[in-house]
Amino acid sequence: MQKRKLGKSNLEVSALGLGCMSMSAGYGPPADKSEMIKLIRAAHDRGVTHFDTAEAYGPFANEELVGEALAPIRDKVTIATKFGFDIDIETGKRGPGTNSKPEHIKAVADACLKRLRIESIDLFYQHRVDPDVPIEDVAGAVKELIAQGKVKHFGLSEAGVQTIRRAHAVQRVTAVQSEYSLFYRGPEAELLPALEELGIGFVPFSPLGAGFLTGKIDENTKFDPTDFRNIVPRFSPEARKANMALVDLVKAVAERKGATPAQVALAWLLAQKPWIVPIPGTTKLHRLEENLGAVHVELTESDLKQIDEASSKMKLEGARLPEAALKMTGR
C-alpha cells in the first residue's frame, strides 16, 4: 500500500484509510462485532494504517469496536476520532446539537482514550463546528490536550474556510474531513485551494457517494429503515434515476481500465492531490479488497479530462444531506 502525508504535517498514513462508521451506525443495523474485528484486522493485513471512528457512531459502540480490533497492533496504526456533538459521556444520550465547550472536549478526550484503549489520540477532529463556542477556544483546548500528550494532531470536519484559518492560527490543523467525490465536488471551489495554501491534508468521507458510485444502487434499491440514505434528498428514487448518467460515465471508464466503478471513483480522488486520503467504509471483505485495488488503477491525464468534461455537463439532482444536517456544515 502506498503512503501519503496529510499536508505538511509529519502524519504519514496509507493512501486509503478505512471509515468504520458503517460497521456500527448509519447504514442500517450494526454488523456482527466479531466479524467487524476480523475485517478491521484484515484491512491492516492488506496495508491500511489509517482508521476513522467517532464518539457519535453508536454512540460509543464504534470506538469500542475499533479499540478492541486494533489493540494488538496499536503501534502500527493511526486512529482518528471525533468530538463535538452534545453527547453525555456517561450514558451516550444525545442532546439536540453540538457541544465544543473546552471542558467538554477534554472530558470526551479522556473517554475516547479509554474506549479506544490507547494513551494518545492520533487525530482528534471537531465533528461539526459549534456556533456557540469560538473556534479559537476549541483549538486552544485541543492545543492543551496535545501539550499533555493525550492528542497528537488536530482536525476539523465539515468546517468552512474562515473557521479553518482561525483554528489553524491557534493550533496547527493537520487534516480536514468533508464529503468529496465525483458525486459531490463542492470542496473544489474554496476548500481545496485553502488547504493547499495552509499545508493541511484532506480526508474525504463518502468517497463512493454513500455507495452510489459503485453502480450497485438504482432507483429501485430499497434501503433498511434505519439507513440514513432514506432521508437524503440525493437518494430519493427520482434523484437516483436522474443521476444514473454519472454512474454510467464511471462504469464506461472502469470497463476501459479493466477496473470496477468503485475503483475508478477512488482512483479519481487519489489523482486530485497527493495529500488527499479517502476513507471508504464497508462491512464486507470482498468490498474492502475491491476498494484497496483502486491504488493500482492509474488514470491518465486524458482519462481525468474525459471524466471532468463529461461530468461537468451533468446537473446532479438532490441535496447531499437533509436540510437540518446541511445547516451544520461549512461554518
- Three cell numbers written together for 30: 450494526
**CB burial of residue 330 (10 Å; 0-12, 13-18, 19+):** middle
CB-CB contact of 118 with 67 (8 Å): yes
The residues facing 148 across adjacent strands are: none
Give the ranges where the chain is alpha helix by DSSP (H): 33-45, 61-70, 102-116, 135-147, 161-170, 191-198, 237-257, 261-272, 285-292, 301-312, 323-326
**Who's near 126: CB < 8 A, 6+ residues apart?**
82, 83, 84, 100, 138, 142, 155, 156, 157, 159
**Who's near 109: CB < 8 A, 6+ residues apart?**
83, 121, 124, 145, 150, 151
Active site residues: 57
